[in-house]
Amino acid sequence: MAPTGRFLRRGTAVHVGGGVFYTSAHVVQVEEDYREFYLATTTAQRRREAWTPAQVACVHPRWRGVGPWDRTSPYDIATLRATGHVGAPALPVDVSVPQPMQPVTIVGFPAASFGWPPKQYVSPGVVDQVWLSDHVFSVVVREGFVLEGSSGSGVLRNGRVVGIVYARAGERDRSAAPAVFAVTMLAAVQGCPPR
């Protein structure tokens, strides 16, 4: 929430249990002086009192926080810790590195969900490339939406979170992206352990 009292939707966060949510660092580190974060689910009422308050618990120490949001900015990861009741289910984490051609699913709340309640989109895709030195991989989206607001979305393989979306590939407008970049959960838990 902004100091003026207006709200700004920033992105998606993935609950991994114990009130810990992973998201993109650029979602929680914004130029405006936002300090309060609230998590809403697809069943939340349209009142702040019905949302889960959260605090930034960790920003990956290797995140540079500069430049365009593309593959040149790896480690774009942060954790939020809920300070109230968590209404979102926890998803298990898989720290194995995804491999090219593996099917994955991106689950999040892109800009297309700006209505209320937020609509969750499920976008099937396939791992395209993997950059082991950067802990980054790309996903070609086969169906669905990956738009502004998809930052922080979970990349799932067999129901387990293997990565967190942080950038659209080759897209600088608000149209749906054909591919996205994601940080591996190995890099996420090494830099921001889920505790």
Per-residue pLDDT of the chain (195 residues; tens, 9 = 90+): 233 345 566 788 999 999 999 999 888 876 555 567 878 776 667 676 778 889 999 999 988 765 554 444 778 999 999 987 787 789 999 999 999 999 999 998 876 556 777 778 899 999 999 999 889 999 999 987 777 668 899 999 999 999 999 887 755 444 556 888 999 999 999 999 987
Distance (Å) of CA 112 to CA 5, 31, 92, 127, 137: 24, 23, 26, 23, 24
- pLDDT for 87 equals 74
pLDDT of 78: 92
What are residue 121's phi and psi, to 5 degrees?
Answer: -110, 140
The pLDDT score that the predictor gives to residue 119 is 78
Q: Please give the helix or strand (H or E) that residue 152 lies within, else none.
A: none
- 28 — phi, psi (to 5°)? -100, -15
Nearest-angstrom CA–CA distance, 41 and 15: 11
Global confidence as pTM? 0.85
